[in-house]
């Protein structure tokens, strides 16, 4: 699985080499998404002083032993969760695991969970590779919440890669979903280092669900080594989409022409939609999606003469809008019954709106306005048309249209994403004169909510005092209701 310390230390060396991490840090590191546009906290900003980051980076690279003191010092300078702390802490945690794995597995994990949770999978991969770490203790120390599954998968793969078989007898108490994930990733890691041993372990599983999970891990490893063989062997499995995604991520960098030819040749294949989706999702990070548009359109025409399925359209529209809002809009316009001279009320428009919420919230706002202004259209933006959150979550684009689109839940989704990327513009737009009162309250309440942007109320009120009267009035009214 590679040397555990190489990636983070190489990244740090690059930053030190280029101007001590100045302009390159801003260009190369994607900062955590947060509502920084609205009066950020001033805690932990000593690291912003000239030369401090470069000095810290040099110090981190020269350390031979590590304990919690170094992390505490970085916390004081950069603040919990900052991108600078994330970059500097990564090699520290890896060195800590290498020189003192027992201490790293306790004090180190606690610090990582609290201040750099995104590093947990990487840290657990390093810890899992250490013979002196107790895998059972690592398993019980896993976090809850969004980092739980990535952390569990990383630990399982590391233990599998080093052939730690005993742990398989210690996971009976795990929930079914966790047990499935652990067995899959353990066998994935094991198959990367010893495929015959992984296959024998999977075949020996007496529980049918356990055996299927273990076989999936073996197929994931095969997908990297022989993508076509993995696709063939997984054709009748329920987890075929997962195997296909892994296969094309490995296949495209090695031989993109063969990968495209394989999918193009599969006319009549019952898994063709899954194959196309996996191929295109793997292409998104590799090439400008607009460059592949002729190939995509040829693929769609060949395999879906009646029009592509929604799940495939969602991948294409998301990829295109991620590159350019205009390109994404033009693609939707090119679809039968799409935007343009026809109605805006089409399933493809729903997909376009969802994609724009992520990539260009201002364009999503304009699209929502254009939809409700069409002749004969009804405006549901300030109304919730769903009886339950579950029904809304599972609704197809066509069902969302039938229920009333865009509605209050759609605008909530827009507000959440816009606040993450540009809180000031989001609040100013939603609280503009003429916007329905429920939407004005929505953006402010979402800005303050711990499940939303989580902007501290004093910070938001301070910012409001510098804004036009109508913006300040809305924020102050919502704040008064919360007191």
Q: In this structure, are residues 35 and 415 in contact, taking their beta carbons and an 8 Å threshold?
A: no
Contact between 157 and 167 under an 8 Å Cβ cutoff? The reply is no
**Is a pLDDT exceeding 80 seen at residue 19?**
no
Q: Residue 306, class by beta-carbon neighbours within 10 Å (0-12 exposed, 13-18 middle, 19+ buried)?
A: exposed
Q: To the nearest whole percent, how much of the chain has pLDDT over 90? A: 59
Neighbours of 237 (CB within 10 A): 15
- With a pLDDT cut of 70, the percent of the chain lying above it is 88
Point out the least confidently predicted range of 78-92, 154-168, 198-212, 351-365: 78-92
Mean pLDDT of 52-61: 86
> Which backbone phi and psi does 380 adopt, to 5 degrees?
-105, 10
Buried b (16+ CB within 10 A) or exposed e, 65-83: ebebebbeebbebbbebbe
Give the lowest-confidence range in 36-40, 114-118, 317-321, 427-431. Answer: 36-40
Task: Give percent helix, percent strand, percent coil of the chain, each to the nearest 5.
Answer: 70, 0, 30
| Predicted local distance difference test score (pLDDT) of residue 348 | 92
pLDDT grade, residue 36 (50/70/90)? very low
Please say if the pLDDT value at position 1 is more than 80. no
CA distance 131 to 166: 13
Q: Please give the mean pLDDT across all residues of the chain.
A: 86
**380: helix, coil or strand?**
strand
d(CA 385, CA 286): 39
Report the range of poorest mean pLDDT among 42-56, 267-281, 283-297.
Answer: 42-56
| Cα torsion through 330, 334, 338, 342, rounded to 10 | 100
Distance separating alpha carbons of residues 441 and 382, to the nearest angstrom: 10
- If you count them, how many residues does the chain have? 483
Those residues whose C-beta lies under 8 Å from the C-beta of residue 171, and which sit 6 or more positions away, are 139, 178, 179, 182, 183
H/E element, 151 = helix 148-161
**147 vs 337, more confident:** 147
């Amino acid at each position: 699985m590679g040397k555990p310390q190489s990636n983070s230390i190489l990244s740090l060396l690059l930053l030190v080499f280029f101007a001590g991490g100045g302009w390159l840090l801003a260009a190369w590191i994607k900062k955590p998404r947060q509502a920084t546009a609205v009066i950020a906290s001033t805690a932990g900003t000593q690291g912003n002083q000239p030369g401090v980051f470069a000095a810290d980076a040099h110090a981190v690279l020269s350390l031979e032993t590590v304990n919690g003191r170094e992390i505490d010092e970085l916390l004081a300078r950069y603040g919990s969760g900052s991108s600078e702390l994330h970059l500097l802490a990564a090699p520290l945690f890896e060195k800590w695991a290498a020189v003192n794995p027992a201490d790293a597995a306790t004090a180190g994990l606690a610090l990582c969970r609290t201040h750099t949770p995104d590093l947990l999978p990487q840290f657990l991969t390093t810890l899992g590779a250490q013979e002196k770490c107790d895998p059972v203790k690592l398993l019980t120390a896993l976090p809850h919440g969004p980092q739980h599954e990535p952390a569990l998968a990383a630990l399982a793969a590391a233990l599998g890669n080093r052939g730690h078989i005993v742990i398989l007898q210690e996971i009976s108490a795990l929930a079914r979903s966790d047990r499935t994930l652990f067995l899959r990733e353990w066998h994935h890691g094991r198959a990367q280092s010893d495929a015959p041993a992984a296959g024998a372990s999977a075949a020996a599983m007496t529980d049918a669900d356990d055996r299927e999970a273990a076989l999936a891990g073996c197929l994931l490893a095969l997908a990297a080594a022989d993508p076509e063989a993995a696709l063939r062997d997984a054709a009748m499995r329920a987890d075929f989409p997962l195997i296909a995604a892994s296969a094309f991520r490995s296949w495209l960098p090695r031989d993109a022409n063969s990968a495209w030819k394989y999918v193009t040749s599969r006319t009549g294949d019952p898994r063709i939609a899954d194959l196309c989706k996996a191929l295109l999702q793997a292409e998104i990070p590799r090439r400008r999606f607009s460059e592949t548009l002729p190939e995509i359109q040829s693929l769609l025409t060949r395999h879906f003469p009646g029009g592509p399925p929604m799940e495939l359209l969602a991948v294409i529209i998301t990829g295109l809008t991620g590159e350019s809002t205009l390109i994404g809009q033009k693609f939707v316009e090119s679809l039968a019954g799409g935007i343009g001279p026809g109605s805006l009320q089409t399933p493809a428009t729903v997909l376009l709106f969802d994609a724009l919420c992520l990539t260009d919230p201002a364009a999503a706002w304009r699209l929502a306005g254009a939809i409700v202004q069409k002749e004969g259209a009804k405006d549901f933006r300030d109304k919730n048309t769903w009886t339950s959150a579950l029904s809304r979550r599972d609704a197809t684009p066509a069902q969302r249209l039938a229920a009333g689109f865009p509605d209050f839940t759609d605008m909530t989704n827009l507000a959440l994403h816009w606040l993450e990327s540009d809180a000031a513009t989001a609040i100013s737009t939603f609280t503009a004169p003429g916007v329905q009162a429920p939407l004005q309250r929505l953006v402010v309440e979402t800005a303050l909510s711990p499940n939303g942007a989580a902007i501290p109320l004093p910070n938001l009120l301070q910012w409001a005092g510098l804004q036009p009267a109508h913006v300040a009035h809305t924020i102050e009214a919502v704040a008064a209701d919360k007191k």
